[in-house]
Chains A and B, each alone.
Chain A
Amino acid sequence: MSDSNKKKEMWEKIQKNQIFRAIFRTGGSITTHKQRVLVTLNNVFLHLHPVRLPKHAVKVKYTWCMGGLSFFIFLVLTVTGILLMFYYRPTVEYAYGDIVDLSEQVPLGLMREIHRWSAHLMVITVWLHMFRVFMTGSYKPPREFNWAIGVILLVLTMLMSFTGYLLPWDQLAIWAITVGANMAKATPFIGSAGPGSSLLAIGDVNFVHSASDAGFAMLGGRFVGEGALLRFYVLHCIGLPFVIMLFMIVHFWRVRKDGGISGPT
């Protein structure tokens, strides 16, 4: 009895503490309706959400949580990715060895595992999120535009995964990327092995050849080598995350502006 009383007293004391009040604007124990509303409004992260929702919209059986989980996994990838960047150098000379060291030398070296499996998982959750949105007809007006943003997010997610695939610089990596690069070389007109590229020539001078085509732009060389590794690294760690964040911001904003989670009207 006195024990729990003491705890209560402690808790009340903490809540009156200046530091606590400074951090948690709403206060500690949230009991009244007004406080519950304020928690959401006062917190920058929670305030991505509306304050009140129709009940179906919070049910797991409706949203499957897939959009939110995609975002969460993206955050996990960001954190583990930053940790990996401490150890990894994107050069042909060091890349593979750094990856080996990562598992052999670094204490608690699970970051690479978590990063890789999260990447796989994110592709899956994004697909399932799209599938849910389709099955509930949530792409219908007024959400057409957000669906389009979503498709771009899906493509970006796969590109993130694809660019990351090269970085360990093992056999699996370079040959998987070679398959992709061969496709880029076959782009119509701008790929050296694509239809129509030989038409872009004056006399004997070809404008599109293996050192000036789409494949070369992607790899920074004719083959998967030093140039490709650097390009993929920069895109993977800076370029694509930046773009995908932009699209996510628009995506979340539009979820709210289009009237929140869809529902029967």
Chain B
Amino acid sequence: MEQIKDFINIISAPQISFTAIILLFFFIFPPNDLFYKIHRGLRIHKLWTKGGGITIFSFLTIFFIFGITDQNFRMIVTKPDNVPIVALLYLVVFFLWFSLKQAYDNDKRIDEGKGPNEAEDAKQKVLVWPDLVYIELIAMVSVAALLLVWAVALGAPLEEPANPTVSPNPSKAPWYFLGLQEMLVYFDPWIAGVLFPTVIMLGFISIPFLDNNRKGSGYFTFKERKMAISIFLFFWLVLWIFLITTGTFLRGPNWNFFGPFEYWDKHKLVALTNVNLSELFYMVWQNKQLPSNILLREMPGFLLVGAYLGLLPLILAKTLFKKVYERLGPIRYSVFIIFLLIAISLPIKMYLRWGFNIKYLVSIPEFFFNI
């Protein structure tokens, strides 16, 4: 028992769990034909069948039932404000399965030349009264009942009166913003709290204008939209739901990481030996002093960031993303690749931190400008 808990504590550290998720991700949600073949070969598509669904749910439920027996786990999961996130986890997993099951069923039908299930249904017309109205009624009544039960069962939390002189440790934003707060570990507030939200919003708005694949509109399908779905799910599942879950359940005092079965020890010490790229470049690698000229000092960082955003898109257009470039054309491709690279900078920064203890690539505290 204890060994299992220790094991889960260890593998849930972001270094390990995040890496595992990224490695597995593209086999579960293949972005192109190559991965799709392996995905089929490994029979991962079986996840999106009835049997697969039952398996996923059993695992999730067994994990929670097993977890609830642990005092530390129970304490975080049953905190009233955290209950929605447990619900969210179940709902996200359920609807992920539900949409992909229909998508894979449709893919099969399309392969057989039959067209998606929705097309079959659409041949028939129904009247809003009563066919839609009663579905809406049932949905509304069920949700109202759910809310009533929830409200009776769980009181809304109220802590001590506000006290500006005593800050709780950790102080957490509301759970739907914890993805952003988690990014604060790796980026300064102006990036995590201002740049990223703006880019996320603009990025989402631009999806319909970037995705010029006309197939797969108005029915569930995976095969016809592999790349779009894979990228979307990467952001939504890995960089959003995963970060929120980590931020809620696994971040304790001083925003230190704690495994799900670990006691939140306020005195847990984590060695912080973070350095900036400039220090690494001049002092460690060349044994010199830091140049006093800011521009010179930060030159390595500027070059790196410049190459990442300026050069890499060009290289990718000629190599890995050749087909994407051909399909999107120069303007769409530029917008797409900049959004993508900005988003991917988050995992990159995570690994720079974990692997090399790098805090900032460019660090000009004089102007609060740190990347």
Contacts and interface: CB of A to CB of B under 8 A. Distances in A.
B95 A55 contact: no
Interface string A112-123: 111111101101
Nearest to B172: A176
B173 A195 contact: no
Interface stretch (B19-27, B204-212, B284-292, B293-301): B204-212
B150 interface: yes
Interface residues of B, number: 94
A165 interface: yes
A55 B126 contact: yes
Interface majority SS (helix, strand, loop, mixed), chain B = helix
Interface residues of A, number: 101
Given A55-B121, A56-B118, A137-B218, A128 B91 contact: yes
Question: Which one of A115, A139, A158 has the highest number of Cβ atoms from chain B below 10 Å of its Cβ?
Answer: A139
Nearest to A66: B95
Contacts of A14: none
Contact of B151 (A72, A110, A262): A110
A240 interface: no
Given A148-B205, A178-B171, A196-B369, A225 B164 contact: yes
Contact of B177 (A54, A61, A144, A162): A162
Contacts of A137: 215-219, 221, 225
B368 A198 contact: yes
A62 interface: yes
A131 interface: yes
Interface string A81-111: 0000000000010001001100100000010
Interface of A: 30, 33, 36-37, 39-40, 46, 49-62, 64-65, 68-69, 72-73, 76, 92, 96, 99-100, 103, 110, 112-118, 120-121, 123-124, 128, 131-132, 134-141, 143-144, 147-148, 151, 154-155, 158, 161-162, 165, 168-176, 178-180, 182-188, 191, 193-199, 223-225, 262-265
Shortest 8 CB-CB contacts between residues of A and residues of B:
A183-B193, A113-B151, A186-B189, A56-B121, A144-B208, A175-B171, A195-B369, A54-B122
Given A30-B130, A136-B220, 5 more contacts: A54-B121, A123-B176, A128-B92, A187-B194, A194-B189
